[in-house]
Structure 1
């Protein structure tokens, strides 16, 4: 008889990890996060309670009341990754409060001893002391641990994102699944967003408030019109360059003020992916940056995923942050499928 897996999602955000686990057939019973803006999208799309609480104050007793009785228990989460982000190389982040959150995850595992644990973060964390301590602590209390860097396009994600995924199990070794797609099978920007209706810069589509493009300044409108898909600001006429482009320190930053390409996965979707000037976030064809809806789709969310309550304003900064910080559902789905397959094989 097949056994159910019930999952609690720590640092759940808008539910990217939970959505992927649900797609794989797992039962997500709750999510924890400190951002109140995430409550509506998590509860609307995941249909599980959102608990606004700092993980430092979460107790074993709380978790035990949430997991489904008799199920295989999964504790999942993506501790905030800002201290380990590749965009912050050369900066000492060891004093930032997020460093301690992986330790809090470890504490809850030790106290509640779920059968399964999965954690997702940026690949750079694998070389950090705190990650090694986290992995070692799981092994010390009887978990078999597997982790690897996962390349999004190999899992069907239309985005060149890499994430470190860890699986720990007390019910037999379970390996982090590899992606099955070859380069010729990768989902592209065209596959993901070409079917959306056109919108102009500074406007919102009438039928979807998330299909909203940030307004461009007159100078940036000239710049994007001078940009070609896959090109750089080196393609522009001299009068469109900014002073930083002519300095040696800025000459190497070519993936800003740039357009995506239709027939490749997108670059990594960041918290500022709605801004033409912060990356290769120009639409391949239309003279604008990608919309919030396009960013969400490229992050792996379905087109109908709801981020704000009807009638509420759609704001670029908070929603861009929620999208950019989300776990890509495609990778989470692969992990959930691997967990479920292993549990069901043992039940046979």
Structure 2
């Protein structure tokens, strides 16, 4: 087993879109990738940054596919349910000369731990079953499957490894990784299964991150919240976190401080880079790259008066527990808005909404809604672009929706704005994906000499 230690993947000011050095020397050079259940393309973006050629992506959501097409114009985008014969055939044809298959199939049922049924046989896991079947039909040199860390529970993990191994044809290594340990300004745990075809005679690589997630945490003090370091190397990691020139451990302010001038309710979807302040951190320079012209996805939701009043009472890094008693009333300005539970108090679901970033710490795991996080300085939520920064999508990566109106097969209700937040929130952070991609490609390429595709 190859152990890959995490170091900063890229350099300050590098353009993640168009050249990360000599293409011929990049780990993914000459390797092709297909992304199933691709969503907006977080995994695809990571493999592209590693130098691999993205052949195609597939997803059922037409809005996610619209984003994928904009950002991967050279790749085929297959929109549809992979359980349908026509879509399955398109995927197989697109992956005819595939080196690496990647994807994050939804896997909804873990009940087999209790009832001893097979994970792959549960009808709720039909998309997971399709991913396993595609490995068997395409027989790539390697594959990467990502999923929720709950899949690491006892009983489930062994079943998944067995399924993916295809009766010993692949060597499979599962590992739980946290994006914040790989230069992403957000904690997001994912379980990653890396499979390498036995014919290559190598073991799947194991990735080792910075260890910042276990060494640093946010604590409540009399003055508010501050970052605490604990354990071996913690002081060094704290120093790296506080260093705006360090790309290995990144805070919320280092990710989005250059966009702080945006106002709640902003309707414009783009702003000229010339009107923004200079990048204030190495991370911002990396996300900007050589971008010029217009920065997109910068509109902001309105914030009602009650929400603004509460946010002013919550310190950076805080949540509803920091609110004085009178701010727990359902309506505090006298204006009625949203549903009420009849108690006159905030409901439990509101507790998850009133959370503010801390400028010196990375974000918690963002979900798919704009009100899952509020700015550390201004009483507002984040724009889609700021969500994207927290997920490590570079600024040239644009989120959009299918131009067709109304209900479409695979479209999730909620409107265009919510779709963009959902696309970002559901994605694999590209910097995490790039770390995985570089490790997999670096292992596969030397071992592939003389081995045909679709081994």
Structures share a fold, TM > 0.5? yes
Contact 1:103 1:134 in 2 (8 A): no
> Which residue in 1 is equivalent to 2:208?
178
Offset at residue 97 of structure 1 (A):
6.2
Which of 192, 210, 215 aligns to 2:255? It is 192
* Cα drift, residue 39 of structure 1: 2.1
Of the three residues 351, 358, 362, the one matched with 1:265 is 362
Equivalent residue for 1:335, pick from 418, 423, 436: 436
1:103 equivalenced with 2:129 (yes/no): yes
Aligned counterpart, 1:89: none
Distance 1:265 1:228 in 2: 16
Partner of 1:231: 318
Match among 376, 379, 385 for residue 287 of structure 1 = 379
Cα distance in 1 between the residues matched to 2:34 and 2:325: 54
CA distance in 2, matches of 1:114, 1:235: 52
Shift of 1:122: 1.0
Question: Which of the numbers 394, 398, 411 marks the counterpart of 1:306?
Answer: 398
Which whole-Å CA distance do the structure 1 matches of 2:175 and 2:416 have between them? Answer: 35
Query: 1:240 matched to which residue of 2?
Result: 327
Change (3 A) 1:15 1:259: same
Count of equivalent residues: 331
Alignment of 1:2-13 (within 5 A): 4-13=30-39
CA contact (8 A) 1:60 1:112 kept: no
Aligned to 1:117: 143
CA 101–347 in structure 1, closer or farther in 2 if over 3 Å, else same: closer
* 2:264–2:381 CA contact under 8 A, matched in 1: yes
Q: Report if aligned partners of 2:181, 2:209 keep a CA contact under 8 Å in 1.
A: yes
CA shift in 2, pair 1:344/1:117, >3 Å: closer
1:219 aligns with 2:299: no
User: How far did 1:65 drift?
Assistant: 3.1
Change (3 A) 1:66 1:230: same
Q: Which residue of 2 aligns with 1:201?
A: 264
Deviation at 1:99, TM superposition (A): 2.2
1:323 aligns with 2:424: yes
Match of 1:87 in 2: none
3-state secondary structure, aligned to 1:340? helix
- For structure 2, the 5+ residue unaligned runs are 1-23, 111-118, 213-236, 241-248, 272-294, 331-340, 406-414, 450-455
Greater Cα radius of gyration, structure 1 or 2: 2
TM-score (norm 1): 0.84
* Contact 1:41–1:307 under 8 Å retained in 2: yes
Question: How many Å separate the matches in 1 of 2:324 and 2:122?
Answer: 42
Deviation at 1:63, TM superposition (A): 4.4
- Cα-to-partner distance string for 1:104-123 (whole Å, 9 max, x where unaligned): 11111122221111101111
Cα gap change, 1:23 to 1:319, in 2 (>3 Å)? same
SS, match of residue 434 in structure 2: helix
Q: Which of 131, 135, 150 lines up with 2:177 in the alignment?
A: 150
The whole-number CA distance in structure 2 between the counterparts of 1:288 and 1:109 is 44
Distance 2:424 2:138 in 1: 30
Normalised to the residue count of structure 2, the TM-score between the two structures is 0.65
Provide the residue aligned with 2:94 in structure 1.
66
Deviation, structure 1 residue 309 = 6.9
Partner residue in 2 for 1:43 = 69
Contact (CA 8 Å) 2:47, 2:433: kept in 1 or not?
A: yes
CA distance in 1, matches of 2:425, 2:108: 11
Rounded Cα–Cα distance in structure 1 between residues aligned with 2:157 and 2:131? 11
> Equivalent residue of 1:191, what SS?
helix
Q: Separation in 1 of the partners of 2:171 and 2:103?
A: 18
Residues in 2 aligned to 1:9 and 1:35: alpha-carbon distance in whole angstroms: 14
Asked if the contact 2:185–2:363 (Cα under 8 Å) also holds between the matched residues in 1, the reply is: yes
3-state DSSP of counterpart to 2:83: helix
- Provide, for residues 264-302 of structure 1, a one-character-per-residue CA deviation record: whole Å limited to 9, x for no partner: 111111101x11xxx4x1100011011111011101111
1:47-93: CA deviations, max 9, x gaps? 21110121223677644532474xx6111101125667xxxxxxxxx
